[in-house]
Chain A
Amino acid sequence: GEDVEQSLFLSVREGDSSVINCTYTDSSSTYLYWYKQEPGAGLQLLTYIFSNMDMKQDQRLTVLLNKKDKHLSLRIADTQTGDSAIYFCAVGAGANNLFFGTGTRLTVIP
């Protein structure tokens, strides 16, 4: 299987940028996703990237992929209190075979 690692906690001040990191072990992972989970809710797809890409930007979200180091990051610009949630990275060789990280709890301090 695949090991997917994330830091458990991150705190940032409102208005600052947040960077959530994820490392994985299987170099054949071609589908890499970021999901957001608010308390008591399911997972909301935020963004995704394919392994043939280095970067993807979508409004306040920027995903960076370092395939050599098997490192994925999610940057949230101008972080707001509504961004407080748990963020999961998920990677896999296909959409039907994903491995999830432990999740990073982002706390935004007003």
Chain B
Amino acid sequence: GAVVSQHPSRVICKSGTSVKIECRSLDFQATTMFWYRQFPKQSLMLMATSNEGSKATYEQGVEKDKFLINHASLTLSTLTVTSAHPEDSSFYICSAIPGQGTDTQYFGPGTRLTVL
């Protein structure tokens, strides 16, 4: 149980375009989802916390208008990288907490974004 999927697993786009990444909890409802960014050979950096039906909470230094997060249902959160630039190239990972009183984040497999 507690499986999280991401789509796409890899995406290559041209500079200036927008890219949407989906994060789904497959076998549970997730009131809270998280978006992380991971640079090569580095740890995870939390970008934002996404709660179903409300606005995402962004970490300091993360541009809200650049990284749009939508958590429209209890099983789906999306991250849209708007007007992508090469410096946005990274590995983006989402995670989810199954419901109330659960103590673990379950992670998706990640999405590798390459901006040309």
Binding site for B on A (CB under 8 A): 31, 33, 35, 40-45, 48, 50, 88, 90, 95-96, 98, 100-103
Question: Is the beta-carbon distance between B109 and A41 smaller than 8 angstroms?
Answer: yes
Complex Cα spacing A102 to B34, Å: 18
Question: Is the beta-carbon distance between B107 and A48 smaller than 8 angstroms?
Answer: no
Taking the nearest CB of chain A, how far is it from the CB of B110, in angstroms? Answer: 4
A-B contact count (CB 8 A): 49
For B108, give the chain A residue with the smallest CB separation: A42
* B:17-44 near A, CB below 8 Å: 32, 34, 42-44
Question: Is the beta-carbon distance between B112 and A100 smaller than 8 angstroms?
Answer: no
Given A95-B97, A96-B32, also A33-B44 (CB < 8 A): no
Q: Does B54 contact A (CB under 8 A)?
A: no
Interface of B is mostly: strand
For B49, give the chain A residue with the smallest CB separation: A96
Q: Does B87 contact A (CB under 8 A)?
A: no
30 A-B residue contacts at CB 8 Å?
A: A33-B104, A35-B107, A40-B110, A40-B112, A41-B110, A42-B4, A42-B93, A42-B108, A42-B110, A43-B44, A43-B93, A43-B95, A43-B107, A44-B107, A48-B104, A50-B103, A88-B44, A95-B102, A95-B103, A95-B104, A95-B105, A96-B32, A96-B34, A96-B49, A98-B46, A100-B43, A100-B44, A102-B42, A102-B43, A103-B43
